[in-house]
Amino acid sequence: MQKNNLGKKPIVKKSIPVFILICLLYLGCSPAGEQGGPVKIRFDSNKKVSGARFAIRDISPGLPSDWEGYNYVVLEMKSSTPQRFHVGFTTDWGYNELRIMNYVPNGWIKLAIPLRFYTSMPDPARDLAGTYNQPRYTGWVNLGGERGPLKGVDSIGIRMHVPIGNPTLELRSISLSVEDPGDEYLGEVPVVDEFGQWNLGDFEGKIKSLDQLKQEWSDEETGLQQPPAIKYSRYGGYPDLRCGTRGPGPSGIRSRSSRSSAGSLQTHLRRDQKT
């Protein structure tokens, strides 16, 4: 057995861990605890507010805790619903969150959020909608929550108000950028199908073929040719509809049809024409 230069202990036992480490580095792997991974939230529809908080190091290890030198936080995520959710960060200053809407449910996206939305008051616009709703390519950001410095950032929180149907959200990467890296749809399946419909899921009334679409066109055309079941007056009202109106006294109810109302309107119009 080969010995080292000092002639004390064999080196075979130490060479095995070194060999394994070299293999891991060659294969692009990291030992456990040094590599982050995706996280998944299942929002509970039985709760008014449902969500979770994760340490950033468990998702993207090595990310700095001081974000003041950056302008964008970039999230790679997939939500099963178009329902809005909140994304916030815990810092030395406190907790700050924004409301996010995803344009691509059931698809992986990259969304770059300007960090000034977390640190500064919104820039003025023509109206409140323009001030607080900030569009991006794969979603939009609603400016709410508090404002404060992004120092000591250690965790991300994601929550949803009144979730419907126990939706899920997966988050696999958090990164920082000085320049705007742009948003991107990361999937391979087109988001919109040949009929202009959402292509990443199914829904009631979805067109599955051209023959189905032609049949629905034909049914609609036939329906438009049939006389309406409701009679309309010359003013667009319902002459056969009777409604109760409160007359004199606390409990006086008298019936009155829209036909009499239309007659009163006609009389009023004639008087205006004479004058």
Q: What's the per-residue H, E or C state across 81-150?
A: CCCCEEEEEECCCCEEEEEEEECCCCCEEEEEEECHHHHCCCCCCCCHHHHHEEECCCEEEECCCCCCCC
Q: Name the least confident of 30-34, 142-146, 194-198.
A: 30-34
Please report the pLDDT score of residue 35 as a whole number.
62
Rounded-to-integer distance, Cα 38 and Cα 54, Å = 11
**For 114-141, what is each residue's pLDDT tens digit?**
999 999 988 888 888 888 889 999 999 9
**For 5-46, what is each residue's pLDDT tens digit?**
433 444 344 444 444 444 433 333 333 345 678 999 999 999
**For 88-106, what is each residue's pLDDT tens digit?**
999 999 999 999 999 999 9
Rounded-to-integer distance, Cα 145 and Cα 91, Å = 14
Average pLDDT of the residues in 248-271 = 52
- Work out the number of other CB atoms within 10 angstroms of the CB of residue 253: 10
Task: Report the mean per-residue pLDDT for the chain.
Answer: 81
Please report the pLDDT score of residue 178 as a whole number.
97
Please report the pLDDT score of residue 88 as a whole number.
96
Please report the pLDDT score of residue 33 as a whole number.
40
Which has the higher per-residue pLDDT, 270 or 231? 231
- pLDDT exceeding 90 applies to what percent of the chain? 59
Average pLDDT of the residues in 184-211 = 94
